[in-house]
Amino acid sequence: MTKKQRWTADHVPDQTGRVFVVTGATSGLGLATTRAIARRGGRVILAVRDETKGREVVEELVSSGMAPDLFDVRRLDLADLDSVRAFATRLRAEHPRLDVLVNNAGVMAPPRTLSAQGHELQFATNHLGHFALTGLLLDLLAAGRDPRVVTVSSINHRQGSLRFDDLNGERGYAPMAFYNQSKLANAVFGRELHLRLTGAGSPVRSVLAHPGYTATSLQTRDTRGLTRLVFGRIGNPLLAQTPERGALPQLYAATDPAVEGGEFIGPDGPAELRGAPTRVRLSDAAADAETGRRLWEVSEELTGVRFPVTARRP
């Protein structure tokens, strides 16, 4: 996977017969991922907060020539663990297997808000909801064909730190700092999941991806003040790539036969802001064994979800 090859969505292999769950599939990276997978014959379950918007998106995809039986819309609010459990229960009743879970949805830099279960919203949505969803669907994935969990992190994970003594920001809250914390949590989780799956001899691969700097509603939907100005009014028009380009790392992670568990896929351009997919480096904090163990234990405690894999190392 060198610059000369310039991997694009045209390189996605035939996905006929494969079943994907994509969280946050109605806009941005999630929609671009959904569209690219369906174009190659994959069936996509759009896991979305707003079912009406989800159905509108499907109507647009079908009107562009895609088969309607490639899409299902299911409600999922990652910030509410009850919603995560309800989604997983329904999916398990309807599907004997799942091939790929793309943990894509997220929120960025909102004012301090608590989830339904009382967790800081970014940590709850970006990490805890995806942690719980993955654990509840892992046995369906184990029955899949070339099964994978793709967790979408960010270059911002390298600026993050896990505030284990104040995960909810009760002692002090800074929107971007807590976004960075949630993205570090994604990276730690994806790495730790890989080690536990490998240690248990599971066929499921855990792969990480990040989109570089991509223009999506993430930078403007939840942000306020200077953050919205910097990203939405200045950064996005001048520096950001399109969602179709930004989705390439997670598409590569989800579909390319050469991908190995534990890899981190991001853009190959300067500072990893844009470009074609390539293997990139996790931060030392994301790869730290003690951090991985501690986050896993805290996440199990906060979600009440226990994974059917316990070994931590190959």
pLDDT of residue 243 exceeding 80: yes
Is 313's pLDDT higher than 90? Answer: no
Tokens of 142: 């184990």
> Catalytic positions, please?
179
Confidence of residue 222 (pLDDT cuts 50, 70, 90): low
| Residue 28 φ/ψ region, left for φ over 0, alpha for ψ in the -120 to 50 degree band, beta for the rest | left
pLDDT for 240 equals 81
pLDDT of residue 215: 80
Residue 7 has pLDDT above 50, yes or no: yes
Structure tokens, 51: 């079912």
As a whole-number percent, the residues of the chain with pLDDT over 90 amount to 87
**According to the model, what pLDDT value does residue 227 have?**
54
- CATH of 9-212+241-303 among 3.30.360.10, 3.40.50.720, 2.10.50.10, 3.30.70.100: 3.40.50.720
In this model, does residue 2 exceed pLDDT 80? no
pLDDT for 314 equals 47
Q: pLDDT digits over 246-279, tens only?
A: 999 999 999 999 999 999 999 999 999 999 999 9
User: What's this model's pTM, rounded to 2 decimal places?
Assistant: 0.92
Spell out the SS3 assignment of the chain. Answer: CCCCCCCCHHHCCCCCCCEEEEECCCCHHHHHHHHHHHHCCCEEEEEECCHHHHHHHHHHHHHCCCCHHHEEEEECCCCCHHHHHHHHHHHHHHCCCCCEEEECCCCCCCCCCECCCCCEHHHHHHHHHHHHHHHHHHHHHHCCCCCEEEEECCHHHHHCCCCCCCCCCCCCCCHHHHHHHHHHHHHHHHHHHHHHHHHCCCCCEEEEECCCCECCCHHHHCCCHHHHHHHHHHHHHHHCECHHHHCHHHHHHHHCCCCCCCCEEEECCHHHCCCCEEECCCCHHHHCHHHHHHHHHHHHHHHCCCCCCCCCCC
Across the chain, what does the average pLDDT equal? 92
What residue ranges do the domains of the chain occupy? Answer: 9-212+241-303
Q: Which residues pair with 21 in a beta bridge?
A: 45, 101
110-163 pLDDT tens trace: 999 999 999 999 999 999 999 999 999 999 999 999 999 999 999 999 999 999
- Alpha-carbon span 250 to 303, nearest angstrom: 25
- Is 198 within 8 Å of 142 (Cβ atoms)? no
Is 70 exceeded by the pLDDT of residue 221? no
Q: What band does 216 get if pLDDT is binned at 50, 70 and 90? A: confident
- What distances in angstroms separate CA 57 from CA 19, 69, 127, 131, one per listed residue? 18, 14, 25, 26
pLDDT in tens, 15-60: 999 999 999 999 999 999 999 999 999 999 999 999 999 999 999 9
Choose among 40, 1, 45: nearest CA to 19: 45
Cα of first residue to Cα of last residue in the chain, in angstroms, is 26
* pLDDT, tens digit, 9 for 90 and up, residues 167-184: 999 999 999 999 999 999
> Tens of pLDDT along 63-90?
999 999 999 999 999 999 999 999 999 9
Residue 238 pLDDT class (50, 70, 90 cuts): low
